[in-house]
Structure 1
Amino acid sequence: MILSLIVAHTRNFTIGRDGGMPWHLPADLAHFKKTTMGSPVLMGRKTYESIGRPLPGRLNIVITGSPKPSDNATLRYVKTAEEAVKAAEEAGAKELFVIGGGSIYRQFIDRADRLYITLIDADIEGDTTFPEYDVRDYGIIASEHFSANEKNAYDMDFITYEKIKK
């Protein structure tokens, strides 16, 4: 199974502020949906609470210190990263997408096979950051530029990196 991180971050690695994203970029949201649809998504409790519901069309796996049973077939609570990966494997996933937040990204960054990065061409202050990574450890397998428009305030690049096997 491919372990992937998907994130939108600024040049200064900001991903969040005050429990949410400090931008609204419909083009990035569409990219996220297209990329993750049909695959399990893994997130921390705070990210799940900020979304407010399971994302449709995907198994939602939530890491929390207090896992509880769920009567929703598309929602699983787990306590550890290992349990999260096992839940995705048991579901027959070809790829598991880690979708945040900051502490969850830090747990998985070193074991990620792929990074799906939306690089927002801005420096925005925030209280949650994505861990810095060395692009020399990855090869670019896809890249697309998106120019700012009336609905998307910033230029952005959708870049897919794959870890170089050493």
Structure 2
Amino acid sequence: MNGPSIPIRSIIVAVAANGVIGRDGALPWHVPADLKRFKRLTMGHHLIMGRKTLESIGRILPGRTTVVLTKNDDYQSPGAVVARSLQQAIDAAAEAGDDEVFIVGGGEIYRQALPLADRIYRTRVDATVAGDTTFPELAPTDWRVVRAESVPAEGGVPAHAFEVLERAATARRDPTEKPSLPECPSIPSRS
């Protein structure tokens, strides 16, 4: 008998032009459409995050299973699953039958997850901002953009682009098997 199937391992991140993803435990911009996209994509799935990311969010997000990575053996968070390693977190999602697991940060968790990731949902924010947390630079030979949608700046919201990237060569999956991609959000125009 086979064990649980390995879920698609997806990173979801919003990143500024200079690679910044956070400042003082928060996003250094406000892009409402990105928050809606995050919710739509992650609803019903496991979210893997570091302890600091959970604490910056301040609560367990409804409709999703939160898995917190920490090296602290005594750490507990009501409503969350606590894992000691990224692999243990992915295994928990697989055991629960999740077909896609989302790695949602922070910076160190992204660095650990990048070699294992199959897909990246990236929001590129067209701004250079000060920050203390960055996203690792992607090797262009390792990733290809399979979907992109640009949104112009409007009403104080910086221009941004929603992208889906897939690993150029995925060793763990049959190359003829293409996972289906969710649709990009429809961004209403503000006329």
Structure 2 length normalisation: TM-score? 0.81
* Residue 136 of structure 1: how far off its partner (Å): 3.0
* Residue 70 of structure 1: how far off its partner (Å): 5.5
Please tell me the residue identity of whatever aligns with 1:21: L
How much identity, in percent, do the aligned residues show? 45
* Residue 38 of structure 1: how far off its partner (Å): 1.1
Can you give the 5+ residue segments of structure 1 that lack an aligned partner in the other structure?
none
Whether 1:155 and 2:159 are equivalent positions in the alignment is yes
Deviations 1:27-54 (A, max 9, x none): 1101111111111110000000000111
Whether 1:101 and 2:131 are equivalent positions in the alignment is no
- Structure 1 segments (4+ residues) deviating >6 Å: none
Cα distance change of structure 1 residues 16 and 71 upon mapping to structure 2, 3 Å threshold: closer
Aligned counterpart in structure 1 of residue 144 of structure 2, from 139, 146, 153:
139
- For 1:135 and 1:120, the matched residues in 2 are separated by 19
Whether 1:37 and 2:18 are equivalent positions in the alignment is no
In the alignment of these two chains, the number of paired residues is 163
Please tell me the residue identity of whatever aligns with 1:40: H
Aligned counterpart in structure 2 of residue 78 of structure 1, from 78, 83, 88:
83
Q: Which region of structure 1 is more displaced relative to structure 2, 30-39 or 44-53?
A: 30-39
Q: Which of 1 and 2 has greater Rg?
A: 2
**1:165 match:** 169
Whether 1:50 and 2:52 are equivalent positions in the alignment is no
- For 1:109 and 1:162, the matched residues in 2 are separated by 12
Structure 1 length normalisation: TM-score? 0.92
* Residue 97 of structure 1: how far off its partner (Å): 0.4
- For 1:55 and 1:71, the matched residues in 2 are separated by 12
- For 1:127 and 1:103, the matched residues in 2 are separated by 12
Secondary structure of 1:100's partner? coil
Please tell me the residue identity of whatever aligns with 2:55: E
Whether 1:124 and 2:129 are equivalent positions in the alignment is yes
Deviations 1:93-118 (A, max 9, x none): 10110000000000011111001100
More helix by share: 1
Please tell me the residue identity of whatever aligns with 1:31: R
